[in-house]
């Protein structure tokens, strides 16, 4: 099976279980969005709270830790065109950065598994790369429905 995630470790140890979960979830995102045949991939960096705080401050002017950051490479309409035209170039859809320590903390806080929280971070980041957002309530409903669809299709529940 084609892998749509390129995983990088930044100041945390490599972990095959993390990679398996990430690849399963990202591949499902691509499949559900009819992008499985495209040569697009996502760069996913797994890091710690200190590193993600620096990125959050540098790129968003928010001087605090966060759980996930997304850096899209394309506009939503460009991605839609890629799907329609079966875009043949190999290209990076964007970058997702995830704080693994925050994933662990939030899994405990929300009372669900680490796998579920990591999966949600991947799906959430993916849909930000696809041009979706959750600032307005109507946009949030659309994005949440897409996220839930992916997680439900994998049997990953709260």
Q: Is 150 exposed, middle or buried (0-12, 13-18, 19+ CB in 10 A)?
A: buried
Look at residue 2 in the predicted model and tell me its pLDDT. 77
**Which residue reads 């959050």 in tokens?**
56
Mean pLDDT for 99-111 is 97
pLDDT bucket at 157, cuts 50 / 70 / 90: confident
Nearest to 35 by CA among 72, 83, 77, 74: 83
pLDDT over 80 (residue 83): yes
In a domain, 33, yes or no: yes
Q: Hunting for tokens 């320590």 — which residue is that?
A: 101
In a domain? residue 49: yes
Q: Please indicate, yes or no, if residue 23 is contained in any of the structural domains.
A: yes
- Per-residue pLDDT averaged across 142-147, rounded? 96
User: What value does the mean pLDDT of the chain take?
Assistant: 96
Give the pairing type, strands 91-99 and 40-47: parallel
Q: Which two tokens stand for residue 62?
A: 């928010």
The pLDDT, as a whole number, for residue 158 is 72
Q: At what angle do helices 114-129 and 100-110 cross, to 10 degrees?
A: 120
Q: What is the DSSP letter of 102?
A: H
| Whether this model's pTM surpasses 0.85 | yes
Q: Is residue 105 part of a domain?
A: yes
pLDDT reported for residue 77:
95
Q: How confident is the model at residue 100 (pLDDT cuts 50, 70, 90)?
A: very high
Q: Note whether residue 74 is domain-resident.
A: yes
- CA 120, 69, 12, 19 torsion-angle sign: positive
Q: In this structure, is residue 10 part of a structural domain? A: yes
What is the rounded distance in angstroms from the CA atom of residue 5 to the CA atom of residue 138?
Answer: 29
Residue 46 bridge partners (DSSP): 9, 98
Q: pLDDT of 35-69, one tens digit each?
A: 999 999 999 999 999 999 999 999 999 999 999 99
Task: For residue 142, give its domain range.
Answer: 5-153
CATH number of the domain enclosing 94: 3.40.390.30
pLDDT tier for residue 1 given thresholds of 50, 70 and 90: low
For β-strands 68-72 and 91-99, DSSP reports them as: antiparallel
- Find tokens 């996913």 and name the residue: 44
Asked if residue 158 is part of any domain, the answer here is: no
In a domain, 36, yes or no: yes
Number of domains in the chain: 1
Does residue 92 have a pLDDT over 80?
A: yes
Question: Which residues, listed in sequence order, are joined to residue 70 by a DSSP beta bridge?
Answer: 96
In residues, how long is the chain?
Answer: 158
């Amino acid at each position: 099976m084609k892998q749509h995630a390129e995983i990088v470790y930044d100041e945390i140890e490599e972990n095959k279980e993390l990679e398996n979960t990430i690849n399963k979830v990202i591949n499902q995102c691509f499949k559900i969005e009819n992008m499985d045949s495209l040569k697009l991939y996502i760069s996913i960096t797994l890091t710690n709270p200190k590193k993600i705080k620096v990125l959050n401050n540098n790129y968003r002017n928010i001087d605090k830790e966060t759980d996930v950051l997304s850096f899209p490479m394309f506009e939503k309409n460009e991605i839609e065109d890629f799907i329609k035209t079966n875009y043949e170039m190999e290209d990076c859809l964007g970058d997702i950065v995830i704080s693994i320590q925050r994933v662990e903390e939030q899994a405990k806080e929300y009372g669900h598994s680490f796998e579920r929280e990591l999966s949600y971070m991947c799906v959430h980041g993916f849909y930000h790369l696809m041009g979706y957002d959750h600032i307005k309530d109507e946009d949030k409903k659309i994005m949440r429905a897409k996220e839930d669809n992916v997680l439900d299709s994998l049997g990953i529940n709260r």
